[in-house]
Structure 1
């Protein structure tokens, strides 16, 4: 099996407990390269614990997990080189400008031409016009887009987004959605944890639902919808969604 055929993420029988609390009870899933995989679940379902194990920040009690072909337990350094993790809140320096944040990360990673890297990412995430502004003047959506851009310094093949739109207004959420979809379109594998069903519906190629420490369903949106019988109605009238109304009113 070639590198491109190996799933970007492989999880088998993952278990984790905190004293008497069993958080993960045998989690299994795979994520194809260049796709967006959404892990859904309510608070306490085990989403963040799964993410932390995959990011080598936490050790599993049982089971195996691999990222970019590297086992998280036996090759943690290779795993860390293969991924970038973005948490629920943007990890940006508000005193610096957007460009300075990106240049700083590139220099910390000892990359050549940090200025060029910063400029390319600013353009990619539609932040060029705000490049010289302090991040303290950015909107929530702009900060989150900059945070994701910082995660891509060094071109990691896999990026983890843990609740990426928490606390954002509707416009900010849509901006982040566009950025995430663009990542996958350009070949980056995205593991997304979210509580927002519409977020998964808009972004994910595959969706898994984590409940009480287990994956209870895993499939495409179409496959998941087929789990419920269609409703019988006499007359169908399409109503605009809230997103339709919002985009119409703001002119985007």
Structure 2
């Protein structure tokens, strides 16, 4: 199948079991939410989907294949792999483009700066730009190599309600264009606007 498939996934660290039977499927062009309180393994789901982690048991498939870091765009993860605060927005995107061996990396960065209205802050260090622009920098980071699957950690963090509406429209535009988006959130109102919700720690799945 196309999209994302988690089938009876178990993840453990030593004797500590994070989850034991996580199963859900997300079709191409949909937005899925991994919803739950802090420290329930939400970010680990993104790392499983990107291939940075392997499940203890079960199976993870992206478009019917094992996760491939080249086909997945992983945005910054809070407290694990944040944006490089001391780089400018433009430097950060260029670094990621070169890391992914993007052809004409500078042109791709300019395209993303225009698309996400980051041109005015391109020379600002990441830590000095407002929260909405930080979100958009993180999203552009995930998209720099044009992956079909985009993984975003708590996109609502630090945003006002009005800013979240803008961020949501950015994500929905991606899904409407055929990209698949998987995000984590601690807020039910964010999860309820997605096409599928997988709740942790119990693994309950529903479609709002």
TM range (shorter): 0.7 to 0.9
Deviation at 1:171, TM superposition (A): 4.4
TM-score of the superposed pair, with normalisation by structure 1: 0.73
Does structure 1 conserve the Cα–Cα contact (< 8 Å) formed by 2:26 and 2:32?
A: yes
Of 208, 216, 240, 2:204 maps to 216
In the alignment, structure 1 residue 43 sits paired with structure 2 residue 38: yes
Does structure 1 conserve the Cα–Cα contact (< 8 Å) formed by 2:10 and 2:58?
A: yes
Alignment: residue pair count = 206
Unaligned runs of 5+ in 2: none
Change (3 A) 1:127 1:66: same
TM-score of the superposed pair, with normalisation by structure 2: 0.87
Name which one, 1 or 2, has greater alpha-carbon Rg.
Answer: 1
Residues in 1 aligned to 2:151 and 2:157: alpha-carbon distance in whole angstroms: 15
Range 138-147 or range 102-111, more displaced: 102-111
In the alignment, structure 1 residue 111 sits paired with structure 2 residue 102: yes
In the alignment, structure 1 residue 71 sits paired with structure 2 residue 80: no
For 2:24, the equivalent position in structure 1 comes to 29
RMSD between aligned residues? 2.2
Q: What per-residue deviation string (whole Å, max 9, x for no partner) do you get for residues 62-115 of structure 1?
A: 11111132224xxxxxx1111022213683334443223222222232222222
Q: Give SS of 1:10's match.
A: strand
For 1:82, the equivalent position in structure 2 comes to 71
Range 182-191 or range 95-104, more displaced: 95-104
Change (3 A) 1:112 1:206: same
Which structure has more RCO (C-alpha within 8 Å, separation ≥ 6)? 2
Unaligned runs of 5+ in 1: 1-5, 73-78, 222-252
